[in-house]
Chain A
Amino acid sequence: MLFNSASFMFYFLPATLLGFVALGRFGRRAVIGWLALMSLVFYGVWKPQYVVVLLGSMLMNYAISRMIAGHRDARAGTWWMVAGIALNLGVLAYFKYLFRFLVFMNQMQFTQQQWQHIILPLGISFFTFTQIAYLVDLRQGEAEKQDFLSYALFVTFFPHLIAGPILHHKEMMPQFAGNKRYRLDWGDLATGMSWFVLGLAKKVVIADRIAPFADAAFAAPHGLGMWSAWIGVLNYSMQLYFDFSGYSDMAVGLARMFSIRFPYNFNSPYKATNIIDFWARWHMTLTRYLTLYLYNPVALAVSRRRMARGLPVSKKASRTPGGFAMMIALPTCFTMFLAGVWHGAGLQFIIFGMLHAVYLSVNHGWRLWQNKPASAPRKWWSASLGLALTYVCVVVAQVFFRADSTRDALALLAGMFGMHGLGMPAGLAVHLHVQSGAGAVSAKALAVLALFPFCWLLPNVQELLGQAEVGRFEIGGGMTARIANALLWRPQVGRRLAAWGVAMAACLIAVLYYISYSTSFLYFQF
């Protein structure tokens, strides 16, 4: 079921909220059971047979978690954790990579067989990662052993099931504590609804509207002129941002309607003035996951290995070429390589990951060379230059992320760098609603440029809703803070609440106007 579908908004969500309120008086188990059941319904609407995959994955991980909990102080606990991770990755590899691998083997003429396509269960990466994190956290004493019903809700709770945020057990389940009163909190409901409507508007009114311009460029990347290649790629860049951040806003808002607080997944990533900052703002829970479960263990292993060999592991040591390569670049490349592979089977995804590995390594190297604290204020021109450079680097990597093949990505990049001239083919001009040649581009395709001030200067949804403060050193930070203050969600002030009501109603009307033409979310494919 899609968050932006009418059946979700007008049937599933009200029914789930009503059940939550009605069963609240019967306590924790009734509420947890209801939400877990509805979450399975939410998942099963897509393909009922894949509920079996989800349930199988949960049963397997729950059984392993019991073994880990039973051997908490023994080496066996670690072995169970490793076995659990291996099994999860095996399931993920089967659904996500096996078919592509077999097709590749056919292309290389190692095999001749026609393989049946394996349909990727929706959200398998997300619920697998969530469960791996639970097993590791449980082994490290960061999570509690629990009954199956609670575990089922932790994994399946519908706001995060399909595309995150990727949660830690300790972030969600303590909010379903036994002594909590389960009833509708009007403040949370109003905040959650506003969050949801703003996210929905990002998706339906912005991302879906500009998608055709991006699709047209990526459908015919060969021979695109510089102008049209950039317009197409900028449209994709904004489509991806508004699609996924819109989804994340909806997820956080939905959880808040049930008085559950989720971690944020986006914090205005295009305001980042360097690539490290970008990853701290983009898909934040994935970044946190990769850092905790990939980067840190590798960095720690490297440090231990160096120490065992009598080599220094200090910050000073990381400024030497050898120290930098081993302690910074190696863990970064390892992590981003796997991040690329996680996003999809194909060389273009590996290049996407490795490009970011290079960006991050260069950024770390620059910081070490400058020897300044990362939080130090920067001059406006320096921050602006950093913002532009970061954005261009991100966009170049996004070309590989979106393209159907490496060949297509390289063709589009060649177009962006002017290797196919400034103009555009007449056929594509029709798709893009632009005039062929290097002449004027219609307002429709160029509308994407109007989104940049939104991304750079306006506060984001959590800032508008008073859930987070505007960053002090952001581009336009002062102006952003003033705008945030002027528009801030203050439900206790009657006039402010009325103004928000009008604004949310306007957003909702715009959403309803476009919703029947709406599409799936980009991150569902992962």
Chain B
Amino acid sequence: MQQVEAQIEKSPAQSVARLRIFCLVLALLPLAAMLGAVGLAKSDWLMRRGMPAYLQMMDAEWGIRGRSCEVLVFGDSTALTGMMPWVIEQESGRTTCSVAMTKGTVGVMGTTSLERYLENNPAPQVLILAFAPEDWRHFGAWGEVAYVEGALQLVRHGTARQYVTALVTHPSEAFGFATFIYKAALGVLDGHPSIQSGAVRDGQMTMPTAAEQQCATDPGHPPPLYPPDAAYVEQMRQRFAHTGTQVLLLVPPVPDCDSQADWYAARLRGLTNNQLERWPIGLYNDIDRHFTPEGAERFSREVGKSLRAPNSTPGKVE
């Protein structure tokens, strides 16, 4: 040991230069890995061949231009799985589109994708904002959401400053995102996609799982309660109403076995345009929030009917 150390101390400048290179390579490797992940995430090759259909669908929604939709849906995954635009259109007689995202994307990017849509397309007559009962608040903490979906959208559709700032301020999640990207790329190369996707159609997704028989949440260990933020809700309503668009805030129904439903219903009363309802668990197929095709059709039909009914308060879903 002492011999080796003595040799290092006596080594010529060349050895020191080599040691510097060794250290710098190790120190810069994570940065190189991150840059590689960002490059891959930006590539259309990976998006087309390595990403699941729902992420491709969300990615495509950023590029919608000149589409005239009388009714526009935005929200988290309850809107993504629970709102079938073609059913709403059929019931309401109004052209309907959905640009709903996942909670992870809304958590990371907020309403940026909706704003992008409104910049590039005629304003809708009705904008439906639909979120799960626990999501009527600012939920920007990456630890709380499936942030990789949002980080992917951010890298692809945000500015360099936006995504660099986001990744630098979330170093651990940044490497989680890089891992996700490399896994997806390896999945393309070995022919095994890393993520299974549900079926998608016109802005709606159905998870590839069977209907739930009972609530997935353990009653003994209920998830934390997140009270709605009235100021946030009102701000959302005001923010998108400025062009004459009617903003409807809808909370999708929850399973009848949801032990927190009453708590949320009491706090959302008066904040949202509808009241929180309880539906049979068989209409859900994932985490007590994502709808089966039957559940999504039923919810979409009720929303569509409420938009059609003369002299009714639009969005009054009973």
Which A residues are closer than 8 A to B by beta carbons? 5-7, 9-11, 14, 186-187, 189-190, 193, 197, 466-468, 489-492, 494, 497, 500-501, 504-505, 508-509, 512-517
Whether the pair B33, A189 counts as a contact (CB closer than 8 A) is no
State the Cβ distance, A184 to closest chain B Cβ, in Å.
9
In the complex, what distance in Å separates the CA atom of A516 from the CA atom of B142? 12
In the complex, what distance in Å separates the CA atom of A233 from the CA atom of B215? 34
In the complex, what distance in Å separates the CA atom of A467 from the CA atom of B2? 8
Contact A516/B15 with A492-B7, A505-B26 known, Cβ cut-off 8 Å = no
A-B residue pairs in contact (CB < 8 Å), sample of 26? A6-B172, A6-B175, A186-B16, A187-B11, A189-B19, A189-B23, A193-B23, A193-B27, A197-B26, A466-B1, A468-B1, A491-B4, A491-B18, A492-B8, A497-B22, A501-B22, A501-B26, A508-B30, A512-B175, A513-B182, A514-B179, A515-B172, A516-B173, A516-B175, A516-B176, A517-B176
| Residues of chain B in range 20-43 having any CB-CB distance to chain A below 8 Å | 20-23, 25-27, 29-30, 33
In the complex, what distance in Å separates the CA atom of A517 from the CA atom of B7? 40
State the Cβ distance, B181 to closest chain A Cβ, in Å.
11
In the complex, what distance in Å separates the CA atom of A437 from the CA atom of B10? 63
Quick check: is B171 within 8 A (CB to CB) of the other chain?
Answer: yes
Q: Name the 4 nearest CB pairs between A and B, nearest first.
A: A516-B176, A6-B171, A187-B8, A186-B19
| Inter-chain contacts of B8 with A (CB < 8 A) | 187, 491-492
In the complex, what distance in Å separates the CA atom of A6 from the CA atom of B31? 12
Quick check: is B190 within 8 A (CB to CB) of the other chain?
Answer: no
Beyond A190-B23, A491-B19, A509-B33, 16 additional contacts (C-beta under 8 Å) are A6-B171, A9-B30, A186-B16, A186-B19, A190-B19, A193-B23, A468-B1, A489-B4, A491-B4, A492-B4, A500-B22, A505-B29, A508-B26, A509-B29, A515-B175, A516-B172
In the complex, what distance in Å separates the CA atom of A505 from the CA atom of B18? 15
| Residues of chain B in range 166-190 having any CB-CB distance to chain A below 8 Å | 171-176, 178-179, 182
| Inter-chain contacts of B30 with A (CB < 8 A) | 9-10, 508, 512
State the Cβ distance, B173 to closest chain A Cβ, in Å.
7
| Inter-chain contacts of A501 with B (CB < 8 A) | 21-22, 25-26
Quick check: is B144 within 8 A (CB to CB) of the other chain?
Answer: no
Whether the pair B29, A508 counts as a contact (CB closer than 8 A) is yes
In the complex, what distance in Å separates the CA atom of A467 from the CA atom of B3? 10
In the complex, what distance in Å separates the CA atom of A11 from the CA atom of B169? 10
- Dominant SS at the A interface? helix
Quick check: is B318 within 8 A (CB to CB) of the other chain?
Answer: no
Quick check: is B218 within 8 A (CB to CB) of the other chain?
Answer: no
Contact A187/B26 with A467-B1, A512-B179, A516-B172 known, Cβ cut-off 8 Å = no
Which B residues are closer than 8 A to A by beta carbons? 1, 4-5, 7-9, 11, 15-16, 18-23, 25-27, 29-30, 33, 171-176, 178-179, 182
| Inter-chain contacts of A466 with B (CB < 8 A) | 1, 4
Whether the pair A491, B22 counts as a contact (CB closer than 8 A) is yes
Contact A491/B29 with A186-B23, A512-B175, A516-B179 known, Cβ cut-off 8 Å = no
In the complex, what distance in Å separates the CA atom of A513 from the CA atom of B30? 10
| Inter-chain contacts of A186 with B (CB < 8 A) | 16, 19-20, 23
| Inter-chain contacts of B21 with A (CB < 8 A) | 501
| Inter-chain contacts of B7 with A (CB < 8 A) | 492
In the complex, what distance in Å separates the CA atom of A504 from the CA atom of B27? 11
State the Cβ distance, B303 to closest chain A Cβ, in Å.
38
| Inter-chain contacts of B33 with A (CB < 8 A) | 509, 512
| Inter-chain contacts of B20 with A (CB < 8 A) | 186
Q: Which of A189, A492, A505, A517 contacts B15 (CB 8 A)?
A: A492
| Inter-chain contacts of A467 with B (CB < 8 A) | 1
In the complex, what distance in Å separates the CA atom of A308 from the CA atom of B52? 82
State the Cβ distance, A197 to closest chain B Cβ, in Å.
7
In the complex, what distance in Å separates the CA atom of A468 from the CA atom of B4? 11
Q: Which of B16, B26, B175, B179 contacts A193 (CB 8 A)?
A: B26
In the complex, what distance in Å separates the CA atom of A497 from the CA atom of B11? 14
| Inter-chain contacts of B171 with A (CB < 8 A) | 6-7, 10-11
Closest to B180 in A: A516
Closest to B12 in A: A492
| Inter-chain contacts of A5 with B (CB < 8 A) | 172
In the complex, what distance in Å separates the CA atom of A494 from the CA atom of B17? 11
| Inter-chain contacts of B176 with A (CB < 8 A) | 516-517
Whether the pair A492, B174 counts as a contact (CB closer than 8 A) is no
| Inter-chain contacts of B29 with A (CB < 8 A) | 505, 508-509, 512
| Inter-chain contacts of A187 with B (CB < 8 A) | 5, 8-9, 11, 19
Closest to A4 in B: B172
Closest to A193 in B: B26
| Inter-chain contacts of A514 with B (CB < 8 A) | 179
| Inter-chain contacts of B15 with A (CB < 8 A) | 491-492
| Inter-chain contacts of A491 with B (CB < 8 A) | 4, 8, 11, 15, 18-19, 22
In the complex, what distance in Å separates the CA atom of A512 from the CA atom of B36? 13
Closest to B8 in A: A187
In the complex, what distance in Å separates the CA atom of A494 from the CA atom of B178? 32
| Inter-chain contacts of A10 with B (CB < 8 A) | 30, 171
Closest to A508 in B: B29
